[in-house]
Amino acid sequence: MIDAQRRYGSRVAIIGVLYQDSPDDALRFLARYGDGGWPQLIDEDGRLAIDYGVMGPPETYFVDTSGVVRAKQFGPLTTASMEADLALILGSNARH
């Protein structure tokens, strides 16, 4: 995801959602592994997870500018799967 943030810059917004986590635990995790530079939201009551149908982290959602979920990835991302899902939103310019 850090690579995608660098490659796509302002064309893609990455937002982390901390699900079933406390703010203190999340901050410790981010301090240890890095935060990637994107906003992190805490889903304290799990409402966002319910709205999006989260089955169990990690999950990644690719949402277009209209708020429509165009793709969903269960489990860890690979570069290839991320590029394919971003292509759904960015079109043929996803790899540039």
CATH number of domain containing 7: 3.40.30.10
Q: Which domain holds residue 70?
A: 2-95
Average pLDDT score over residue span 57-78: 89
pLDDT at residue 19 above 70?
Answer: yes
pLDDT digits (tens, 9 = 90+) for 40-50: 888 888 888 88
For residue 56, CA distances in Å to 16, 29, 39, 59 come to 15, 18, 21, 7
Q: What's the whole-model pTM score?
A: 0.77
Instruction: Tell me 73's DSSP state.
Output: E
Which value, in Å, is the radius of gyration of the alpha carbons in the chain? 14
For residue 68, CA distances in Å to 12, 27, 52, 57 come to 14, 29, 11, 20
Q: How many domains does the chain have?
A: 1
